[in-house]
Structure 1
């Protein structure tokens, strides 16, 4: 039997971003399958839905909240954030990861803040 050759790929930023979006899409489908079906078919959400009060848009396969912020110079992802269920395991991991990143940035900033503020 011949051994299969495995292709390897480095984990560069674009690859990681694609993977992150795939996980976000999966988390949304797991959490909001009915809402996604309704919106994709052009219908209005039921009042029973957790999301019915939000102004939602379906963009590139992801649910986003339409924001009133349009003139501000911030990335589109900040103007129209994705919706993730806080109870989903991916969301918990993502929040934990982002919290660790922010905490490490704050440590670096706070250690240098005395020098920088003079």
Structure 2
């Protein structure tokens, strides 16, 4: 198997089509090298550092597509808000019901004056 540089040099010599294909292939290989460097940097970073590195990544198209496909980690739909509120109300009701079983234990005791 030939190294990339030899293949690109042979492609360049094969006329106008080859020259155009050489240019696009060189652009593709340069993009691959950039993405490889970004991947290595992200792989070596911890989760908090990755957030800081996001602004320094070199491929705007991938960033735009990622942002388009982004789904938040928290459920922020109407249905999720309804279920979350219902769960919170159920928990508060269960806690209040449980605490009502011990009415004398939770009262503050006043000290006698003197």
Structure showing greater Rg: 2
Larger relative strand fraction: 1
Give me the TM-score of the superposition, normalised by structure 1.
0.30
Normalised TM-score (structure 2): 0.31
